[in-house]
């Protein structure tokens, strides 16, 4: 039996040494160590060995198994290393091939315009804050002096979530939220998405963006509002831009105004761009209504403030001379890339 074991071991080791492929190596493992393998067969025929010799013989079989397994393992490693080397040699990388073109994205005109507006106001010491897009009716309307039956509520065709919650129709509710925090003075702008149940056309979309502005401090007057917005218009549209304040009505400001800038295309002479008038409307503004200050916990006898609201798309369309708002939402990279 011992000789037979020795012979099996040598045969196995010889076959391992000869194996040139990994699957051949696996055949060897099955043939010798598998369930029906030759070494396993030796173990099964232990009964032929004299009982007193069985422990010693059993040990020999185990030693043979260990040796064969070690040889298998080592040869496997060698073969794998060789296979890898062969593969690396075969798959040479051609460094002279032209590189794949990397498609770099592009900032959206809205983003470019917003960053410009933020740069201007941050430069004047304003903070940029954000408010929720899903808002309480309380902030979107009530605290801005638009109570339940106020006609101004109808002007902003609102998406209601329920009686108390709406998709905000304007960024003005951020004013109320910031004032309520009670940290004075306030100098902030609040950009963000707003929603109105409007039909899509060249100048309307159910979802667009506004930038709200608010300043509250002691001794703030309409002169501060005018100076600030004049400076803003100059920085945005050019040093020669003139500004015109037209009386208007907003429930949360008193007095209120709409601001036009002189047409930067024709310099005010009148052209197709400004529809012949020489002026382009860009925003709404006014002095914060004392009642609004009061509702937000600020004493109107001690503090005054001004506010304004700009349509971001309007700025982007004007600045980049885009004549249809829908182009901003189609996300055609060929269009967006131009700005």
CB under 6 A: which stretch of 179-187, 216-224, 238-246, 280-288 binds ligand DAH?
Answer: 280-288
Distance CA 339, CA 324 (A): 15
Based on the shown chain and the rule CB under 6 A, indicate whether residue 285 belongs to the binding site for ligand DAH.
yes
DSSP string of 107-121, one letter each residue: --HHHHHHHHHHHHH
Cβ nearer to ligand DAH, comparing 73 with 157: 157
Cβ distance to ligand DAH smaller for residue 72 or 307: 307
Count Cβ atoms below 10 Å from residue 238 Cβ, excluding itself: 12
32 binds ligand DAH (CB under 6 A): no
Question: Which of 250, 264, 279, 303 is close enough to bind ligand DAH by CB under 6 A?
Answer: 250
User: What is the DSSP track for 284-300?
Assistant: EEEEEPHHHHHHTT--T
How many residues of this chain interact with ligand DAH, rule: CB under 6 A? 11
Query: Does 5 participate in binding ligand DAH (rule CB under 6 A)?
Result: no
Decide if 286 contacts 318 (C-beta within 8 A).
no
Tokens standing for residue 248: 């208007």
What token pair was written down for 71?
């040889």
Q: How far is the CB of 250 from ligand DAH (least distance, A)?
A: 4
Minimum CB–partner distance for residue 248 and ligand DAH (Å): 8
Decide: 261 and 279 in contact? Cβ < 8 Å: yes
Distance CA(208)–CA(170), nearest Å, equals 9
CB of 170 to ligand DAH, least distance (A): 4
The secondary element (H helix, E strand) that includes residue 40 is helix 38-44
- The binder of ligand DAH chosen from 110, 205, 228, 253 (CB under 6 A): 253
Site string for ligand DAH, 205-244 (x = CB under 6 A): -------x--------------------------------
Structure tokens given for 235: 């920085």
Measure the N-to-C terminal CA separation of the chain; round to a whole number of Å. 89
Question: Is residue 203 classed as helix, strand or coil in its secondary structure?
Answer: coil
Identify which range of 54-62, 160-168, 278-286, 322-330 contacts ligand DAH by CB under 6 A. Answer: 278-286
Q: In this chain, which stretch among 34-42, 96-104, 126-134, 282-290 interacts with ligand DAH, using CB under 6 A?
A: 282-290
DSSP code of 133? Answer: S
Q: Which stretch binds ligand DAH (CB under 6 A): 12-20, 106-114, 184-192, 283-291?
A: 283-291
Q: Which residues contact 207 (CB under 8 A, 6 or more apart)?
A: 193, 194, 195
Residue ranges in 160-189 that form contacts with ligand DAH under rule CB under 6 A: 170, 172
Site for ligand DAH, rule CB under 6 A: 170, 172, 212, 250, 253, 284-286, 307-309
């Amino acid at each position: 039996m011992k000789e037979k074991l020795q012979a099996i071991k040598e045969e196995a080791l010889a076959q391992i040494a000869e194996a040139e492929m990994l699957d051949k190596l696996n055949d060897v493992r099955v043939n010798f160590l598998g369930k029906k393998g030759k070494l396993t067969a030796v173990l099964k025929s232990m009964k032929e060995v004299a009982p007193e010799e069985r422990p010693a013989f059993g040990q020999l079989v185990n030693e043979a198994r260990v040796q064969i397994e070690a040889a298998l393992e080592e040869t496997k490693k060698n073969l794998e290393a060789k296979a890898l080397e062969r593969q690396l040699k075969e798959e040479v990388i051609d460094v002279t091939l032209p590189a794949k073109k990397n498609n770099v994205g592009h900032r959206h005109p809205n983003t470019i315009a917003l960053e410009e507006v933020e740069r201007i106001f941050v430069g004047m010491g304003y903070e940029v804050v954000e408010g929720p897009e899903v808002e309480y009716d309380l902030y979107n309307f009530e605290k801005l002096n638009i109570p339940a039956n106020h006609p101004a509520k109808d002007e902003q065709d609102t998406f209601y979530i329920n009686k108390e919650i709406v998709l905000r129709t304007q960024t003005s509710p951020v004013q109320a939220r910031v004032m309520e925090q009670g940290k004075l003075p306030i100098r902030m702008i609040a950009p963000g998405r707003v929603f109105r149940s409007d039909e899509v056309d060249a100048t309307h979309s159910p979802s667009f963006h506004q930038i709200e502005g608010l300043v509250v401090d002691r001794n703030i007057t309409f002169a501060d509002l005018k100076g600030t917005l004049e400076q803003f218009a100059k920085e945005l549209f050019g040093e020669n831009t003139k500004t015109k304040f037209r009386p208007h009505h907003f429930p949360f400001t008193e007095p209120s105004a709409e601001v036009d800038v002189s047409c930067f295309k024709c310099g005010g002479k009148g052209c197709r761009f400004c529809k012949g008038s020489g002026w382009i409307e860009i925003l709404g503004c006014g002095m914060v209504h004392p009642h609004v200050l009061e509702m937000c916990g600020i004493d109107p006898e001690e503090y005054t403030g001004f506010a304004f609201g700009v349509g971001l798309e309007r700025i982007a369309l004007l600045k980049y001379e885009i004549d249809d708002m829908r182009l901003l939402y189609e996300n055609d990279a060929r269009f967006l890339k131009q700005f």
